[in-house]
Amino acid sequence: MDQSFIETMRLTFELAGITTLILLIIGIPLGYYLSQTKSKLKPIIEAFVSMPLVLPPSVLGFYLLLAFSPKNSFGMWLESTFDIRLVFSFEGLIIASIIFSLPFMVHPIQSGFSALSKSLQEASYTLGKSKFQTIFRVLLPNIKPSLLTGMVITFAHTVGEFGVVLMIGGNIAGETKVASIAIYDEVEALNYTLANQYAFTLFVISFCILLFVYAVNKSMVKSEFR
Protein backbone atom coordinates (compact mmCIF):
# COMPACT_ATOMS: atom_id res chain seq x y z
CA MET A 1 0.00 0.00 0.00
CA ASP A 2 1.24 3.48 -0.90
CA GLN A 3 3.03 5.19 2.00
CA SER A 4 1.38 8.56 1.28
CA PHE A 5 -2.04 6.88 1.51
CA ILE A 6 -1.21 5.43 4.94
CA GLU A 7 0.18 8.76 6.14
CA THR A 8 -2.88 10.67 4.92
CA MET A 9 -5.31 8.24 6.56
CA ARG A 10 -3.31 8.32 9.81
CA LEU A 11 -3.42 12.11 9.83
CA THR A 12 -7.16 12.07 9.10
CA PHE A 13 -8.02 9.77 12.00
CA GLU A 14 -5.58 11.51 14.34
CA LEU A 15 -7.33 14.82 13.64
CA ALA A 16 -10.77 13.25 14.14
CA GLY A 17 -9.72 11.48 17.35
CA ILE A 18 -8.16 14.56 18.98
CA THR A 19 -11.12 16.74 17.95
CA THR A 20 -13.62 14.24 19.36
CA LEU A 21 -11.80 13.93 22.67
CA ILE A 22 -11.53 17.70 23.17
CA LEU A 23 -15.16 18.25 22.17
CA LEU A 24 -16.31 15.56 24.59
CA ILE A 25 -14.60 17.47 27.40
CA ILE A 26 -16.20 20.72 26.21
CA GLY A 27 -19.56 19.22 25.27
CA ILE A 28 -20.46 17.63 28.62
CA PRO A 29 -20.43 20.83 30.74
CA LEU A 30 -21.80 22.96 27.89
CA GLY A 31 -24.57 20.47 27.08
CA TYR A 32 -25.48 20.20 30.76
CA TYR A 33 -25.55 23.98 31.17
CA LEU A 34 -27.79 24.48 28.13
CA SER A 35 -30.17 21.74 29.31
CA GLN A 36 -30.55 23.31 32.76
CA THR A 37 -30.24 27.07 32.40
CA LYS A 38 -33.14 29.49 32.12
CA SER A 39 -30.84 32.41 31.37
CA LYS A 40 -31.86 34.97 28.76
CA LEU A 41 -28.48 34.34 27.14
CA LYS A 42 -29.37 30.72 26.35
CA PRO A 43 -30.75 31.44 22.83
CA ILE A 44 -27.63 33.45 22.00
CA ILE A 45 -25.30 30.69 23.18
CA GLU A 46 -27.33 28.05 21.31
CA ALA A 47 -27.21 30.19 18.17
CA PHE A 48 -23.41 30.45 18.34
CA VAL A 49 -23.07 26.71 18.99
CA SER A 50 -25.34 25.89 16.03
CA MET A 51 -23.81 28.35 13.54
CA PRO A 52 -21.59 25.72 11.85
CA LEU A 53 -24.75 23.82 10.90
CA VAL A 54 -26.02 26.62 8.66
CA LEU A 55 -22.85 28.50 7.69
CA PRO A 56 -21.09 27.34 4.51
CA PRO A 57 -17.73 25.82 5.53
CA SER A 58 -15.96 28.31 3.28
CA VAL A 59 -17.42 31.23 5.27
CA LEU A 60 -16.29 29.84 8.60
CA GLY A 61 -12.94 28.86 7.10
CA PHE A 62 -12.44 32.35 5.66
CA TYR A 63 -12.98 34.10 9.00
CA LEU A 64 -10.80 31.61 10.85
CA LEU A 65 -8.13 32.16 8.21
CA LEU A 66 -8.29 35.90 8.82
CA ALA A 67 -8.19 35.43 12.61
CA PHE A 68 -5.27 32.99 12.53
CA SER A 69 -3.22 34.89 9.94
CA PRO A 70 0.05 36.38 11.28
CA LYS A 71 -0.89 39.57 9.44
CA ASN A 72 -3.82 40.16 11.80
CA SER A 73 -3.62 41.11 15.48
CA PHE A 74 -4.69 37.77 16.98
CA GLY A 75 -2.45 35.66 14.76
CA MET A 76 0.41 38.12 15.22
CA TRP A 77 -0.03 37.98 19.01
CA LEU A 78 0.02 34.17 19.02
CA GLU A 79 3.19 34.06 16.95
CA SER A 80 5.05 36.79 18.85
CA THR A 81 3.99 35.62 22.33
CA PHE A 82 3.85 31.83 22.06
CA ASP A 83 5.63 31.20 18.73
CA ILE A 84 2.45 29.51 17.45
CA ARG A 85 1.29 29.77 13.86
CA LEU A 86 -2.17 28.25 13.31
CA VAL A 87 -2.46 28.86 9.56
CA PHE A 88 -1.36 25.84 7.50
CA SER A 89 -0.57 23.77 10.59
CA PHE A 90 -2.04 20.66 12.23
CA GLU A 91 -2.77 22.67 15.41
CA GLY A 92 -4.81 25.11 13.34
CA LEU A 93 -6.75 22.20 11.85
CA ILE A 94 -7.60 20.96 15.33
CA ILE A 95 -8.96 24.34 16.47
CA ALA A 96 -10.92 24.80 13.24
CA SER A 97 -12.34 21.27 13.52
CA ILE A 98 -13.37 21.87 17.14
CA ILE A 99 -15.32 24.98 16.15
CA PHE A 100 -16.84 23.39 13.04
CA SER A 101 -17.89 20.14 14.77
CA LEU A 102 -19.06 21.71 18.06
CA PRO A 103 -22.83 21.31 17.47
CA PHE A 104 -22.46 17.65 16.55
CA MET A 105 -21.21 16.93 20.07
CA VAL A 106 -23.20 19.45 22.10
CA HIS A 107 -26.67 18.83 20.64
CA PRO A 108 -26.90 15.07 21.41
CA ILE A 109 -25.52 15.60 24.92
CA GLN A 110 -27.89 18.51 25.57
CA SER A 111 -30.84 16.42 24.34
CA GLY A 112 -29.76 13.52 26.56
CA PHE A 113 -29.61 15.69 29.67
CA SER A 114 -32.94 17.37 28.80
CA ALA A 115 -34.68 14.01 28.44
CA LEU A 116 -33.76 12.86 31.96
CA SER A 117 -36.36 13.12 34.69
CA LYS A 118 -35.79 15.96 37.15
CA SER A 119 -36.56 13.53 39.97
CA LEU A 120 -33.35 11.65 39.19
CA GLN A 121 -31.25 14.72 39.92
CA GLU A 122 -33.35 15.66 42.97
CA ALA A 123 -33.01 12.15 44.43
CA SER A 124 -29.23 12.37 44.04
CA TYR A 125 -29.12 15.68 45.93
CA THR A 126 -31.37 14.20 48.62
CA LEU A 127 -28.84 11.40 49.11
CA GLY A 128 -26.13 13.98 49.73
CA LYS A 129 -24.39 13.87 46.35
CA SER A 130 -22.73 17.07 45.13
CA LYS A 131 -23.51 18.58 41.74
CA PHE A 132 -20.25 17.17 40.35
CA GLN A 133 -21.02 13.67 41.70
CA THR A 134 -24.58 13.89 40.40
CA ILE A 135 -23.45 14.74 36.88
CA PHE A 136 -20.70 12.13 36.60
CA ARG A 137 -22.11 9.28 38.70
CA VAL A 138 -25.84 9.63 38.12
CA LEU A 139 -26.69 11.65 35.00
CA LEU A 140 -23.89 10.69 32.58
CA PRO A 141 -24.40 6.91 33.00
CA ASN A 142 -28.04 7.48 32.01
CA ILE A 143 -27.23 9.28 28.76
CA LYS A 144 -24.72 6.79 27.34
CA PRO A 145 -26.54 6.59 23.97
CA SER A 146 -26.37 10.40 23.64
CA LEU A 147 -22.67 10.43 24.52
CA LEU A 148 -21.94 7.66 22.03
CA THR A 149 -23.96 9.38 19.31
CA GLY A 150 -22.18 12.70 19.89
CA MET A 151 -18.74 11.09 19.83
CA VAL A 152 -19.34 9.02 16.72
CA ILE A 153 -21.06 11.75 14.70
CA THR A 154 -18.32 14.23 15.68
CA PHE A 155 -15.62 11.77 14.64
CA ALA A 156 -17.32 10.96 11.33
CA HIS A 157 -18.04 14.62 10.59
CA THR A 158 -14.42 15.59 11.24
CA VAL A 159 -13.18 12.80 8.98
CA GLY A 160 -15.33 14.18 6.17
CA GLU A 161 -14.44 17.87 6.56
CA PHE A 162 -13.30 19.62 3.41
CA GLY A 163 -13.98 23.36 3.16
CA VAL A 164 -12.71 24.45 6.57
CA VAL A 165 -9.75 22.07 6.40
CA LEU A 166 -8.73 23.35 2.98
CA MET A 167 -9.00 27.01 4.02
CA ILE A 168 -7.04 26.65 7.26
CA GLY A 169 -4.65 23.79 6.54
CA GLY A 170 -4.07 23.97 2.84
CA ASN A 171 -2.57 20.86 1.31
CA ILE A 172 0.72 20.02 3.02
CA ALA A 173 1.60 16.32 2.82
CA GLY A 174 2.21 14.79 6.24
CA GLU A 175 1.07 17.99 7.98
CA THR A 176 -2.42 19.07 6.87
CA LYS A 177 -3.31 16.85 3.91
CA VAL A 178 -6.24 14.75 5.13
CA ALA A 179 -8.31 12.23 3.14
CA SER A 180 -10.98 14.66 1.92
CA ILE A 181 -8.28 16.93 0.46
CA ALA A 182 -6.44 13.95 -1.03
CA ILE A 183 -9.60 12.85 -2.88
CA TYR A 184 -9.97 16.31 -4.40
CA ASP A 185 -6.30 16.34 -5.43
CA GLU A 186 -6.43 12.92 -7.07
CA VAL A 187 -9.62 13.73 -8.99
CA GLU A 188 -8.07 16.94 -10.30
CA ALA A 189 -5.03 14.91 -11.37
CA LEU A 190 -7.39 12.41 -13.05
CA ASN A 191 -5.97 9.69 -10.80
CA TYR A 192 -9.33 8.02 -10.19
CA THR A 193 -7.84 4.78 -8.90
CA LEU A 194 -6.23 6.42 -5.88
CA ALA A 195 -9.21 8.76 -5.43
CA ASN A 196 -11.45 5.70 -5.29
CA GLN A 197 -9.11 4.11 -2.73
CA TYR A 198 -9.50 7.09 -0.42
CA ALA A 199 -13.24 7.47 -1.06
CA PHE A 200 -14.06 3.78 -0.64
CA THR A 201 -12.04 3.61 2.59
CA LEU A 202 -13.97 6.56 4.03
CA PHE A 203 -17.26 5.08 2.80
CA VAL A 204 -16.64 1.74 4.49
CA ILE A 205 -15.40 3.30 7.73
CA SER A 206 -18.35 5.72 7.89
CA PHE A 207 -20.83 2.90 7.30
CA CYS A 208 -19.21 0.73 9.98
CA ILE A 209 -19.24 3.62 12.46
CA LEU A 210 -22.94 4.31 11.91
CA LEU A 211 -23.80 0.61 12.03
CA PHE A 212 -21.95 0.33 15.33
CA VAL A 213 -23.82 3.32 16.80
CA TYR A 214 -27.26 2.04 15.79
CA ALA A 215 -26.50 -1.46 17.02
CA VAL A 216 -25.14 -0.30 20.39
CA ASN A 217 -27.95 2.20 20.94
CA LYS A 218 -30.52 -0.48 20.12
CA SER A 219 -28.96 -2.90 22.62
CA MET A 220 -28.88 -0.13 25.28
CA VAL A 221 -32.58 0.63 24.75
CA LYS A 222 -33.47 -3.05 25.01
CA SER A 223 -31.48 -3.47 28.24
CA GLU A 224 -33.31 -0.51 29.81
CA PHE A 225 -36.69 -2.17 29.29
CA ARG A 226 -35.73 -5.56 30.66
pLDDT at 58: 87
Instruction: Give the pLDDT of residue 20.
Output: 96
pLDDT at 36: 92
The model scores a pTM over 0.75: yes
Domain regions of the chain by residue span = 3-224
* 8 A C-beta contact, residue 106 and residue 27: yes
The pLDDT, as a whole number, for residue 221 is 61
Question: Structurally, what CATH architecture does the domain formed by 3-224 represent?
Answer: Orthogonal Bundle (1.10)
10 Å CB burial of residue 26 (0-12, 13-18, 19+) is middle
pLDDT means over runs of 10, the chain (226 residues): 85 95 96 94 95 90 88 84 85 93 96 90 83 87 91 91 88 88 92 93 87 78 57
